[in-house]
Structure 1
Amino acid sequence: MDAKKMTNNYLEALRCMEKARDILKNKAREEDGLYQSKRYVREACALAYLAALLAAEAYLVGKGRPIPKRRDKRGNIHDYKHELAGVDEEMLTYLDAAWGSLHCGGYHEGVVVAKMIQAGMECADFLINAIRPATEEARVATV
């Protein structure tokens, strides 16, 4: 993956995370450690999980282990986990945690516990920071 595409994936992941945080803050509204709207928590978790997947995919491509394309099937989390297991265990751990708290908990089950959702967001942030390019454009975006 060339540097421009890596930067674009990084910036797209940042946009997804920014939008997810905005939804949690302004629409889901946290009170006493719980978000008040399952609908908006689900939306934010879906965006944050997408950002984590974008980062994981870019990381794998950068390491020479792209996710294999499947005929007639969509790629799934097991493909990402399988490839990450052979490259970086720490990244695998963070992706698994983001999957559990954001995708399974926040999106599918509608968990509204703020600490759990925030933990998943931190895992997604870790994955995104792992692909942060050392370009001026990316540095400006993080500020």
Structure 2
Amino acid sequence: MAEQNAPVTPSQEAERYLENARLILTEKAGKKDGLYADVKYVKMAAGTAYSAALLILDEYLRQKEGIHFTKPKSIEDYMSRLRKYDKKLLRILASVYDELHLAGYYHGTRSVDTMQKGMNGVKQMLNYI
């Protein structure tokens, strides 16, 4: 863990969110036969992991745009701005959005595979900052 007064980097904060999401799934969601038992905790973990993705994207865009950076207001805004810089990161975001935000958080998927794929996408995104 970071020292008491040491500033936390966006990368460290995103990793913390991802770890929290993993713990929610492991300790609370209850896994059996490739499905989670409690959708409430899946939604909570998906929202937490997706928040990590947004932290990463904000930092990535801040690095690219410098003083011109403003926080995007929608997923479309994130995607159109990413399109200018990195198509691979854009594809990862599209998957993470589908798996974590739509399937996980919004629809409450019970699929372990869907959640793992989304969280692995966020881990890949960490390499961009």
TM-score, normalised with respect to structure 1: 0.80
**How far apart are the structure 2 equivalents of 1:128 and 1:27?**
25
**Partner in structure 2 of residue 96 of structure 1:** 94
Residue by residue over 1:86-140, the C-alpha shift from the partner in whole angstroms, topping out at 9 and shown as x without a partner, is 0000000011110100000000001110001100001111112321xxxxxxxxx
Moved more, 13-22 or 56-65: 56-65
**Partner in structure 2 of residue 117 of structure 1:** 115
The one-letter code sitting in structure 2 at the alignment partner of 1:21 is R
Pairing 1:18–2:19 present: yes
Runs of at least 5 residues in structure 1 that lack an aligned partner in the other structure: 132-143
Q: Which runs of 4+ in 1 moved over 3 A?
A: 65-69
Pairing 1:33–2:38 present: no
The one-letter code sitting in structure 1 at the alignment partner of 2:117 is A
TM-fit CA distance, 1:61: 1.2
CA contact (8 A) 1:51 1:128 kept: no
**How far apart are the structure 2 equivalents of 1:113 and 1:8?**
32
TM-fit CA distance, 1:56: 1.1
Pairwise mapping of residues 121-140 of structure 1 onto structure 2 (< 5 A)? 121-131=119-129
Give RMSD over aligned pairs: 1.8
TM-fit CA distance, 1:30: 1.2
Identical amino acids, percent of aligned pairs: 36
TM-fit CA distance, 1:67: 5.2
TM-fit CA distance, 1:76: 1.1
TM-score, normalised with respect to structure 2: 0.88
The one-letter code sitting in structure 1 at the alignment partner of 2:55 is L
**How far apart are the structure 2 equivalents of 1:68 and 1:97?**
24
Cα distance change, pair 34–67 in 1 and its aligned pair in 2 (3 A): farther
Residue by residue over 1:44-94, the C-alpha shift from the partner in whole angstroms, topping out at 9 and shown as x without a partner, is 00000000011011111112276535xxxx711111101100000000001
What is the DSSP-based 3-state SS (H/G/I as helix, E as strand, rest coil) of the residue aligned with 1:130?
A: coil
Runs of at least 5 residues in structure 2 that lack an aligned partner in the other structure: 1-5
The one-letter code sitting in structure 2 at the alignment partner of 1:118 is Q
